[in-house]
């Protein structure tokens, strides 16, 4: 179980892949020498699956025979195979890369020459919202209404859109989406349009949540944290969760920006890193403003709002994170 979570977390942090990893049920049908050499796990989402061939012996297999064994697994299972081991010497890593053998050393390094691109493209498709999901603007405005007006059932979408920088056309789309989903009803007061949410905030949140998605569009690692927070970027991911709860701070800090902020030269000049390095930080690019205005000055060292944060981590497969997400609910505005 610990291994599965380590690999899941590593793939999530490095490639943005969020999918369960389970023991592969077909192991018993393989030749005994392959069963003895590897433990096989399946990473699967809908109709796409790969097998993780885990070296569970203390002594690593000879590189001369590893390629042959992995080719046999690929042929017998008709699945892409990725070799996984807890540790690897530099010369072993070099040989595997020369032979283009995909491998993962959880928390340290991965090499997925073609498979990594395929995985990212596929899982991005799987993770995309269905047609029933709200647009980012609608999601941002619903969350803003729940955060800033938890005791009010009526709110003015045009005024809120102005705070968030959305256009009149966007307001119309938000109104249509919320009324069409029976989340709110339209109340015309002269020329102004107000939205009424007749349910209590907690009930509204539970009702609307299936139509909300993670606000994180992209996430990756960048070297160096010095002066990165001059613009008071909010904490995100596990850093934000640690800010709200008793979860320990992660080794690398995580920040959130929106798409416009990400286009700034200070980010364009930085090179992405394929894995979290000791002097790197995680940057998340959000589909809406990471800090929603609440009518007060934003603290210099603040975090993303708790509702959006819970959505960004809802697929985490780690007991510690799941417990912290339960604790996070204490910061919900109801």
User: What residues contact residue 326 under an 8 Å CB cut-off, 6+ apart?
Assistant: none
pLDDT of residue 46: 54
Work out the number of other CB atoms within 10 angstroms of the CB of residue 190: 5
CB 222 within 8 A of CB 271: yes
3.20.20.140, 1.10.357.10, 3.90.180.10, 1.10.10.10: which CATH number matches 136-211? Answer: 1.10.10.10
285 pairs with which residues across the strands? Answer: 218, 257
pLDDT of residue 8: 78
| 10-residue stretch averages of pLDDT, the chain, 334 residues long | 74 70 88 89 75 78 83 90 85 83 82 62 50 84 83 81 86 88 83 83 88 89 63 87 93 87 72 71 89 51 89 84 92 87
Please tell me the number of Cα atoms within 13 Å of 213 on its side-chain side. Answer: 20
Strands 103-105, 81-84: parallel, antiparallel or unpaired by DSSP? parallel
CB 258 within 8 A of CB 286: yes
Q: Measured between alpha carbons, how far is 170 from 177 in angstroms, rounded to an integer?
A: 11
Beta strand residue intervals within the chain, DSSP E: 21-23, 38-45, 48-55, 81-84, 103-105, 109-111, 154-155, 185-189, 192-196, 216-223, 254-258, 280-286
**Burial group, residue 237, by CB count within 10 angstroms (0-12, 13-18, 19+):** buried
Q: How far is CA 122 from CA 130, 140, 195, in A?
A: 15, 26, 38
Residue from 175, 170, 204, 181 nearest 132 by CA = 181
pLDDT of residue 237: 94
Q: Measured between alpha carbons, how far is 162 from 176 in angstroms, rounded to an integer?
A: 18
Secondary structure in 3-state letters for 34-82: HHHHEEEEEEEECCEEEEEEEECCCCCCCHHHHHHHHHHHHHHHCCCEE
pLDDT of residue 171: 87
Q: What are phi and psi of 75, to 5 degrees?
A: -70, -40
pLDDT of residue 151: 61
Residue from 163, 149, 164, 180 nearest 287 by CA = 164
Strands 254-258, 216-223: parallel, antiparallel or unpaired by DSSP? unpaired
pLDDT of residue 309: 95
User: What residues contact residue 87 under an 8 Å CB cut-off, 6+ apart?
Assistant: 105, 108
pLDDT of residue 114: 64
Task: Provide the residue ranges of all domains of the chain, joining segments of one domain with +.
Answer: 2-127, 136-211, 216-331
């Amino acid at each position: 179980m610990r291994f599965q979570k380590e690999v899941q977390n590593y793939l999530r942090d490095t490639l943005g892949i969020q999918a369960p990893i389970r023991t592969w049920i077909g192991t018993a049908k393989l030749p005994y020498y392959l069963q003895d050499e590897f433990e096989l796990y399946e990473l699967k989402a809908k109709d796409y699956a790969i097998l993780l061939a885990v070296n569970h012996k203390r002594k690593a297999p000879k590189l001369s025979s590893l390629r042959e064994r992995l080719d046999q697994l690929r042929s017998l299972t008709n699945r892409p195979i990725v070799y996984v081991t807890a540790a690897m010497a530099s010369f072993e890593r070099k040989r595997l890369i020369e032979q283009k053998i995909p491998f993962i050393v959880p928390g340290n390094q991965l090499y997925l020459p073609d498979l990594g691109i395929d995985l990212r493209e596929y899982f991005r498709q799987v993770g995309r919202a269905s047609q029933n999901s709200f647009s980012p603007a609608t999601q941002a405005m619903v969350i803003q209404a729940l955060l800033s007006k938890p005791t009010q059932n009526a709110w003015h979408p045009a005024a809120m859109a102005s705070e968030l920088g959305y256009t009149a056309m966007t307001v119309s789309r938000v109104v249509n989406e919320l009324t069409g989903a029976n989340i709110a009803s339209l109340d015309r007061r002269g020329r102004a349009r107000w939205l009424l949410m007749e349910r209590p905030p907690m009930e509204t949140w539970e009702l609307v949540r299936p139509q909300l998605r993670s606000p994180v569009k992209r996430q990756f690692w960048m070297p160096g944290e010095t002066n990165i927070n001059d613009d008071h970027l909010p904490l995100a991911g596990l850093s934000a969760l640690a800010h709200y709860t008793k979860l320990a701070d992660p080794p690398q800090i995580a920040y959130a920006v929106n798409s416009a902020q990400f286009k700034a030269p200070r980010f364009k000049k930085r090179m992405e890193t394929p894995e979290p390095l000791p002097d790197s930080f995680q940057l998340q690019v959000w589909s809406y403003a990471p800090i929603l205005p609440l009518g007060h000055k934003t603290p210099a060292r603040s975090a993303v709002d708790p509702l959006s944060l819970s959505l960004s981590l809802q697929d985490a497969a780690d007991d510690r994170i799941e417990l912290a997400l339960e604790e996070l609910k204490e910061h919900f505005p109801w």
